[in-house]
Structure 1
């Protein structure tokens, strides 16, 4: 082994390390930008920026990249939707506008009737309902709904 081989071996090792580092930066950038946007030109340009400019390109990419990933944006949207649903579920008295619990029959502030009780199961029902969704009894005091009533005749399942 002569002197040039001893010099070329560390240089080759250093070159392979630099190439592996460069390739890993390009791959990391590609994966990162794919997790942050679905826009294909943006993905291509961000990867090209790092591939061409190397470390300065990576620094520019880190400054310009979107703050949150698509998964984080999706989770944030779900949280916002949950908060909106929670706000919509809060019941208010139609007369005074104050918060009332879902099981209140009468507003404790202005004494407005909010719900009625089912004659059979005594659960609170909205005033506009004509049928109890819990037991099927007609709220107007008539017989249960024909769709929910048990058949009067036994045995026959089909039409006669």
Structure 2
């Protein structure tokens, strides 16, 4: 089998052209990928430019250097991680603390088992636990006994002179007579 040198030269030239086109497309796509990837990982413009320049100048070794030095997490992953940490801290802070001894207590406990401080009370009507300062059960709308139901109402039509005056110690005649 004899190959014509002109045909062999033509095949080699076409193969080389395809290889160069493939490497150029790979090089440009790696530059583009590095640019898009670094944008998702940092807001620092200097780092963005540096990553693209390293990949553009060094090609395959540049992409390896970039992969080693790039931030481990994307900005979205960092944001999600910070939200998880914040939620964890919030759940830790939401734990009930006894005002008497500062120990952790369960949110539904009526009293602290350590110092016996009263933490909550039970509604007499429905039996659910309610906070001590509440004067109305939020579940059954029953007023809690021992608490005022409403603030006293002062009628505006009554003038101070119309109201009966209570006698004070200074009004007593015996107060001034004793030395």
The normalised TM-score by structure 1 is 0.77
Q: How far off is 1:41 after superposition? A: 4.2
Residue of structure 2 aligned with 1:142, choices 142, 145, 149 = 149
Structure 1 alignment gaps of length 5 or more:
144-160
User: 1:119–1:141: 8 Å Cα contact kept in structure 2?
Assistant: no
Aligned counterparts of 1:87 and 1:58: Cα–Cα separation in 2:
43
**Aligned counterpart, 1:42:** 47
Is 2:117 the partner of 1:117?
no
- Give 1:94-133 correspondences, 5 Å limit: 94-133=99-138
User: 2:135–2:149: 8 Å Cα contact kept in structure 1?
Assistant: no
For residue 101 of structure 2, give the secondary structure of its aligned residue in structure 1: coil
For residue 116 of structure 1, give the secondary structure of its aligned residue in structure 2: strand
Residue of structure 1 aligned with 2:23, choices 18, 26, 40 = 18
Q: How far off is 1:15 after superposition? A: 0.4
Q: Name the larger-Rg structure.
A: 2
The normalised TM-score by structure 2 is 0.70
Is 2:78 the partner of 1:73?
yes
Q: How far off is 1:73 after superposition? A: 0.7
Aligned counterparts of 1:55 and 1:126: Cα–Cα separation in 2:
66
Q: How far off is 1:104 after superposition? A: 0.7
Q: How well do the aligned residues superpose, as a CA RMSD in angstroms? A: 2.1
For residue 73 of structure 2, give the secondary structure of its aligned residue in structure 1: coil
Structure 2 alignment gaps of length 5 or more:
151-179
Aligned residues: 143
